[in-house]
Chain A
């Protein structure tokens, strides 16, 4: 009996009211989900891990039996992360998981690592990637998830997963290559239209 089959059997038993099996399923995946959340939101991991599993219980009837329970669970964890970051952002700012990295959102969790050696540096760069690119790499490298599973977690078509993996690797390499994130370059172009701009800007600073 492989792991996936066991997951589905436990899930079925849980649905049938067997809390003990349910508990077994939870225990089986707890550590990886916990580590997944902890690396991104060290200060809120307890809250988010609770929310994730509670949401999973609520949805237990709706979990597709042909799909990976684990992927489903990580999918919920990802959503909880996104909700969390949205909540902690300023009121009207939109949180886009493809644009916002964990470092922007949560400060610098990678400082958890005491020694910043090669691995720590990679981790650091990883945390500076937009959340979904980061998750893509984590699921691929650490959770050994298949493309289909990753697609479930990220709620994207399987075909997009591969290109996203490529992109994630490229950006990670780029981040590692330049130490400082350089400010956007100031460029070019002399225009001529000067309509109302100046009126919008109050004259600054009387002495």
Chain B
């Protein structure tokens, strides 16, 4: 635990080593002795406060020396840290009370005291200042240290924000200065690791928690025995790997497995060289994002360490000279390391100013104060080659990283990794283009301009994305998955000639670049669901593009505008924009852009407007454009859109084939296409479910669930899509309690990011109500639905689809409770809501009508029942075809209700009609069932 930190709890640092199953019967025997005891000091303090509250008794808060305990800050391997008040100097301090030393060896305590006093004499800005050292509870009591109370973050947490590597080096170098100062007075830390460095709010790091409690006895332990003890502790899974090991008797600090030097593993005393080793391991981890040694047992770690340090990752901005310095510090033999921390620091300062292959002019130089390593940027603003790293650093700032984390703590690590992956690829691509520019031939230079413009455009796209990834404007904002839409820098360096998308006139080129920035803004805003602003930006971009009369640009702007118009439901305008975008792109030879426009049109006219023939024509055009442009990565998108068009037309087999093909493409290009895979599985699931192939549908939904979780983490709202779809299957398959569990989880996920009235949240709650009802809990179901209806009606313009779902579910719930009058009222209200909306004449409408028909029968109104059912089936037949099993099964449902109501002849008529339309081969089971029913079984 970080001694002087005010950041509170110890972070759960590493994953736990796998815990072997404990012997069960013995386990309960441990229960009696497992009783936790609160520390005496803490209990006394709480009691004192209570006594004052209850009885007005003024009990002095417990004190250690002259320090009054205020509150506990944390507990570590060697002791407990409190915030305490020093009445004499009237300031707060971090008070560390060391655990009582075992065995009561007076020498040992004296030695700790002596070392603590040495530490107190060290005054260095990068070591936590020790004000005072003493013993508490008599001469045989606990040693305590009163220290500077630092407001800040421990280095482990600080590193989690993935700061730029230069900042990492700066902080570590400062900490190294602190260690060197301690070594100078003979104090060895013994347990250096990121958790034991606090980066103050002033930016200055302090090394804390020197391992004072090390015993002399332990130093003399047989090394083999010591290693065994370490392994026993690690292998039994008894310790998280970030935790400090104390020796088995609890007497002192051994080190932290991940960071400790091989000699510490071997049970030898830690030296200044061991601190150097741990410092190098920690910095390596900070620079490259992973530990140099990652074994899961002490034995494996030790073996890795003895084999020597690994090579640094290939793709990194970190200069090789720095990695070389760290590798020497991790020499398994202490004599092979740098002679001292001071020598290591000197090596850092004299590292090559311009490491090979690094054009950015990275240099390691001493700068003022504690920041020892700075970067001298020899950049010339007019020279694009020197600026890639700097430009990326300006785009990907600390502030944005923190915003991203604050907005979505659960998945920010993933997003950060993706964004930094883009940054690395972008700087590399930029450098590559730059390098070819330095030995360019006149013929290549045009295309180089285009590549550079492409990279600039990508950087601006990411900049715009990061803007929308910032703090959520409202609780109903969709979550920040925009990082899945990061561009691919290698697209800009691809060898293909490509169309002329950058004008040769430099003034025009600048104006074009500015319009492209606006397009990027519009795209990013649309991704964030801020459609109104997005549409504004897109329209402005389109206008400006038109006025520049540069057709490739106008095509891009209109494509973006058309997509956004589609998103907000302006389908006619959308079609116009996209068609014109397509035509302009084609005439400008901008085939990639033409392919984008036409693939969106496939979805627009096919899925949203049910004009399959038009959609297929667009798809054909798109296919040709993809081939011409060579942008094969667009093909998966086309297949997805065409599948949607086929599905809307009820052409299940074709839709399924397209999705299968899309899946194959996506699997072959897993990085670029990764965001598509879960959607494809999910859409396949929908398709298969509609086709009545429930087992296959379930398998696809399960795959969608797995892939969403793998992509976005378990708490991302998209995960809820698969959960709700699986729940739908659970219901169809009569497993309502499974559905209840899944939907409850889905609601939990969605509530975190969506406002209560969000359509998705409402529909999930409605589904939960249905599941609860099927599970027999009618009251809970009704309560949820009534509440949802209230929430919806409080909205200025309640969304029809959700309102209909809620009313209908209220009706079916009333039916389940036997209240058919109330059911009828709800269904009527539902139908009234459908009227005049886009739902009229759709499948939702049909399903409400089926319910209305059933209720009519339940109320004895056979004529209305059969008439309404015919209306419903007429609608369904348009969508599904008259011979679809769903139609037969609905008719059959009504037929059984009619027989139950005693209307035998009507029942038989409806039953016969069900059978008459049904394709026996498509649903033999259902066919047999109805047949048997008709014949009186």
Interface residues of A (CB under 8 A from B): 19, 22-23, 26-27, 30-31, 34-35, 38-39, 45-46, 49-50, 53-54, 57, 90, 111-123, 125-126, 137-138, 141-142, 169, 172-173, 176-179, 184, 186-207
Verify B31–A122 contact, CB threshold 8 A: yes
Judge if B50 is at the interface, Cβ distance under 8 Å.
yes
Verify B38–A31 contact, CB threshold 8 A: yes
Contacts of A197 in B (CB 8 A): 728, 731-732, 767, 770
In the complex, which of the residues B32, B686, B848, B850 contacts A141, with contact meaning CB atoms closer than 8 Å?
B32
Q: Mark B821-856, 1 if CB is under 8 A from A, else 0.
A: 000000000000000000000011001101100000
Verify B767–A201 contact, CB threshold 8 A: yes
Q: Mark B794-814, 1 if CB is under 8 A from A, else 0.
A: 000000010011001100100
In the complex, which of the residues B27, B54, B738 contacts A53, with contact meaning CB atoms closer than 8 Å?
B54
Chosen A-B contacts, 25 in total, with CB atoms closer than 8 Å, are A23-B54, A26-B50, A30-B50, A34-B46, A38-B38, A54-B54, A111-B12, A116-B16, A121-B19, A172-B28, A188-B735, A190-B733, A192-B889, A192-B926, A195-B847, A197-B728, A197-B732, A197-B767, A198-B728, A199-B804, A200-B766, A204-B721, A204-B725, A205-B718, A207-B644
Name the residue on A nearest B45 (C-beta): A46
Q: How far is the CA of A115 from the CA of B250 in the complex (A)?
A: 10
Contacts of B893 in A (CB 8 A): 193, 195
Contacts of A169 in B (CB 8 A): 28
Verify A199–B847 contact, CB threshold 8 A: yes
Contacts of A194 in B (CB 8 A): 732, 886, 889
Q: How far is the CA of A46 from the CA of B721 in the complex (A)?
A: 42
| Min distance, Cβ A83 to any Cβ of chain B, angstroms | 18
Verify A121–B46 contact, CB threshold 8 A: no
Verify B22–A199 contact, CB threshold 8 A: no
Which one of B210-218, B231-239, B332-340 contacts A?
B231-239
Verify B27–A46 contact, CB threshold 8 A: no
Beyond known contacts A112-B36, A179-B21: 14 more, CB 8 A cutoff? A23-B57, A115-B239, A116-B239, A118-B22, A172-B27, A172-B28, A176-B24, A197-B731, A199-B804, A200-B767, A200-B805, A200-B809, A202-B760, A206-B607
| Min distance, Cβ B80 to any Cβ of chain A, angstroms | 11
Q: How far is the CA of A199 from the CA of B721 in the complex (A)?
A: 15
Q: How far is the CA of A190 from the CA of B734 in the complex (A)?
A: 7
Contacts of A122 in B (CB 8 A): 27-28, 30-31, 34
- Chain B 59-116 interface residues, beta-carbon cutoff 8 Å to A: 75, 77
Q: How far is the CA of A27 from the CA of B848 in the complex (A)?
A: 67
In the complex, which of the residues A26, A31, A119, A137 contacts B54, with contact meaning CB atoms closer than 8 Å?
A26
Verify A123–B843 contact, CB threshold 8 A: no
Q: How far is the CA of A131 from the CA of B738 in the complex (A)?
A: 24
Contacts of B31 in A (CB 8 A): 122, 126, 137, 141, 172
| Min distance, Cβ A34 to any Cβ of chain B, angstroms | 5
Interface residues of B (CB under 8 A from A): 12, 16, 19, 21-22, 24, 26-28, 30-38, 43, 46-47, 49-51, 53-55, 57, 75, 77, 233, 236-239, 243, 603, 607, 637, 640-641, 644, 676, 679, 682-683, 686, 694, 718, 721, 724-725, 728, 731-735, 738, 741, 751, 759-760, 763, 766-767, 770, 801, 804-805, 808-809, 812, 843-844, 847-848, 850-851, 886, 889, 893, 926, 929
Q: How far is the CA of A81 from the CA of B760 in the complex (A)?
A: 34
Verify A200–B763 contact, CB threshold 8 A: yes
Chain A residues touching B, majority SS: helix
Contacts of B763 in A (CB 8 A): 200-202
| Min distance, Cβ A77 to any Cβ of chain B, angstroms | 13
Verify B850–A202 contact, CB threshold 8 A: no
| Min distance, Cβ A207 to any Cβ of chain B, angstroms | 5
In the complex, which of the residues A35, A53, A57, A117 contacts B36, with contact meaning CB atoms closer than 8 Å?
A35
Contacts of B805 in A (CB 8 A): 199-200
Name the residue on A nearest B21 (C-beta): A179
Contacts of B683 in A (CB 8 A): 205
Verify B770–A35 contact, CB threshold 8 A: no
Contacts of B22 in A (CB 8 A): 118, 121, 176
| Min distance, Cβ A143 to any Cβ of chain B, angstroms | 9
| Min distance, Cβ B616 to any Cβ of chain A, angstroms | 17
Verify B24–A200 contact, CB threshold 8 A: no
Contacts of A46 in B (CB 8 A): 46, 49
Q: Pick the 7 closest A-B CB pairs, nearest first.
A: A191-B734, A119-B34, A199-B847, A142-B35, A204-B721, A176-B27, A35-B38
Q: How far is the CA of A203 from the CA of B679 in the complex (A)?
A: 12
Contacts of A189 in B (CB 8 A): 733-735
Verify A205–B886 contact, CB threshold 8 A: no
Name the residue on A nearest B24 (C-beta): A177
Verify B851–A196 contact, CB threshold 8 A: yes
Contacts of B54 in A (CB 8 A): 22-23, 26, 53-54, 57
Verify B236–A191 contact, CB threshold 8 A: no
Q: How far is the CA of A137 from the CA of B733 in the complex (A)?
A: 40
Contacts of A138 in B (CB 8 A): 35
Verify A114–B75 contact, CB threshold 8 A: yes
Contacts of A201 in B (CB 8 A): 724-725, 728, 763, 767
In the complex, which of the residues A49, A126, A196 contacts B50, with contact meaning CB atoms closer than 8 Å?
A49
Verify A173–B38 contact, CB threshold 8 A: no
Q: How far is the CA of A193 from the CA of B641 in the complex (A)?
A: 32
Name the residue on B nearest A52 (C-beta): B50
In the complex, which of the residues A49, A115, A186 contacts B738, with contact meaning CB atoms closer than 8 Å?
A186
Q: How far is the CA of A165 from the CA of B630 in the complex (A)?
A: 71
Verify A202–B759 contact, CB threshold 8 A: yes
Contacts of B809 in A (CB 8 A): 196, 200
| Min distance, Cβ B219 to any Cβ of chain A, angstroms | 22
Contacts of A137 in B (CB 8 A): 31
In the complex, which of the residues A22, A49, A173, A199 contacts B848, with contact meaning CB atoms closer than 8 Å?
A199
